[in-house]
Amino acid sequence: MRSVYAAPMASPIIVSTWSFGRRGHAAAWPTLLDGGHAIDAVEKVCRVVEDDVEVDSVGWGGRPDREGRMTLDGCIMLSPRACGSVAAIERHRHPVSIARRVMDSTEHIMLVGPLADDFADAHGIEPEPVLAPVALEAWKSRHEAQGASGAPPAGGLHPDEARWRNHDTIGTLAIDTHGTIAGACSTSGMAWKVPGRVGDSPIIGHGLYVRPSVGGATGTGTGELVMGECSSFYVVERMAAGDEPAEACAAALRRIMDAGALTCEQTVAMLALRADGAWGAATIQKGYRTSVRTADQDDALEPGIMLLDA
């Protein structure tokens, strides 16, 4: 009699940037437990955070540009041949889901601006307000305090707080019970940015990268620093070369630091998940946390490596 062997089941895991990632994990974890797909789980994590008005750097709770206009960016990735991305979305609240639609329904990777919103309309994604009342109030307060000069935000914060204040991207990586890895990333971008600015988050290889045979990486912080070094791609390449995940993240951050001095508002943290489920993170500055969800764990943890003490 022929034996039937069940395929070995991988242990599912989700890791995400920041403590608010846990709220997304709570929504996405049942998907993974039920044998669902990692790509659905990472989309769900981002959608929860995009909806959360308490998160002031992702989705409609995020801070707008200096003219008070909100633009949202996001991407999603299974592999270099299966990824999607959108930037400068102005009429839809979930860039991650439009990115998913780009991945699933087109031969392209990236759509931008009003035409990306039109694409979402054409695919039945309902428009929603993208600027929450609390975010509009924050913009009005800043505008009244500083005039319309477009000057940088006033001081008053400790430099470590200032570094993180304007960049809290949700980047998330998951492995499902089938052993498939996926990643997604979503942001409202830098607070009070110059209109038209797009950062690292929706750019494949910068804010997010997944190579199924190796693993995935994502980042949070000053997009311009990440973009200068293709940091997510670099982290995955370092893991391919044998670095442990946290060491690979630290190597990417060291490249950023070696490239030039950081201003008091610049910092980055990187997060990596290897294809075997090992994960790690590193940060330049204190304050960053990684949310992790496994069968045994539901936490928000400090990264293993912090390059600058203080």
Is residue 187 a contact point for ligand GLY (CB under 6 A)?
yes
Phi and psi torsions of 173, nearest 5°: -135, 140
- To ligand GLY, the closest distance from the beta carbon of 224 in angstroms equals 7
Is residue 269 a contact point for ligand GLY (CB under 6 A)?
no
* Closest to ligand GLY by CB, 167 or 211: 167
Is residue 120 a contact partner of residue 98, using CB atoms and an 8 Å limit?
Answer: yes
Is residue 201 a contact point for ligand GLY (CB under 6 A)?
yes
* Closest to ligand GLY by CB, 87 or 239: 87
Question: One-letter amino acid identity for 289?
Answer: R
Binding mask 202-241 for ligand GLY (x = CB under 6 A): ------------------xxxx------------------
- To ligand GLY, the closest distance from the beta carbon of 187 in angstroms equals 4
- To ligand GLY, the closest distance from the beta carbon of 94 in angstroms equals 17
User: Residue from 16, 17, 97, 169 that binds ligand GLY (CB under 6 A)?
Assistant: 169
Pairing verdict, β 110-112 and 82-89: parallel
DSSP, residue by residue, 220-259: EE-HHHHHHHTHHHHHHHHHHTT--HHHHHHHHHHHHHHT
- To ligand GLY, the closest distance from the beta carbon of 166 in angstroms equals 8
* Closest to ligand GLY by CB, 29 or 288: 288
Residues marked active site are found at: 169
Q: In what order do the strands lie in the sheet with 279-283?
A: 208-211, 215-221, 268-274, 279-283, 305-306
Phi-psi region of 35 (alpha: psi -120 to 50; beta: other; left: phi over 0): left
Select the span of 35-43, 98-106, 198-206, 276-284 touching ligand GLY (CB under 6 A). Answer: 198-206
Is residue 209 classed as helix, strand or coil in its secondary structure?
strand
Question: One-letter amino acid identity for 11?
Answer: S
Chain residues that interact with ligand GLY, rule: CB under 6 A: 167, 169, 187, 189-190, 199-201, 220-223
